[in-house]
Amino acid sequence: MQHFELKGQLRQVGNKATIKAFRRQGLVPCNLYGAGLENILFTVNAKDLKGLTNTPYSHIVDLNLDGKKYTAILHELQFHPVEDLCLHVDFLSVSEDKPISISVPVKVSGHSKGVQLGGKFTQNSRSIRVSGLMKNLPDDVTVDISDLGLDKKIKAGDLSFPGLQILTDKDAVICSVRATRNTAAAATEEEAAAE
pLDDT digits (tens, 9 = 90+) for 83-129: 888 999 999 999 989 999 999 999 999 999 999 888 999 999 999 99
What residue segments make up the domains of the chain, in order of their start?
3-95, 101-194
Between CA 122 and CA 180 the distance in angstroms is 12
Give the Å distances, CA to CA, from 91 to 44, 59, 103, 135. 12, 12, 14, 19
**One-letter amino acid of 98:** K
Could you give the maximum distance between any two Cα atoms of the chain, in Å?
Answer: 80
User: CATH assignment of 3-95?
Assistant: 2.40.240.10
Predicted local confidence at residue 195, as pLDDT = 58
CATH entry, 101-194, from 2.40.50.140, 2.170.120.20, 3.40.50.300, 3.40.50.1860: 2.170.120.20
Predicted local confidence at residue 42, as pLDDT = 94
Predicted local confidence at residue 60, as pLDDT = 93
Q: Which segments of the chain are extended strands (E)?
A: 3-10, 27-34, 37-45, 60-65, 68-79, 86-93, 100-109, 120-123, 127-132, 141-144, 152-155, 165-166, 173-178
> Does 63 have pLDDT greater than 90?
yes
64 close to 8: Cβ distance less than 8 angstroms: yes
Predicted local confidence at residue 187, as pLDDT = 56
